[in-house]
Amino acid sequence: MDERIRLPQDQTVGDLTPAELLGKYWQASHTPEEDVVALQELVAEILHDEAKAVEEGAEEAEEMEVKEESRKPITMDVPAK
């Protein structure tokens, strides 16, 4: 498949969300509209679940850092005599 589409001149690939990029891909590959609708719904669900997992992972990592900090021994510099 060597299908190509042009983006508007003021738009770059980096400006598009993953779902929008997939929409462009499906447009270029001539995917039937009813399939695109079903696929976009699936993509939305996957991206939502992924974002939720990343958010939960970040919260867990933060909690672990707090626990690690509380385990570190307390040290004090004592001036030499």
Report pTM: 0.54
What is the mean pLDDT of the segment spanning 61-65?
73
Model confidence pLDDT, tens digit, residues 6-28: 888 888 888 888 888 888 888 88
Confidence class for position 73, pLDDT limits 50, 70, 90: low
In the numeric block, the tokens 């598009």 are attached to: 16
Distances 74 to 13, 48, 67, 79, 80 between C-alpha atoms, Å: 50, 42, 14, 16, 19
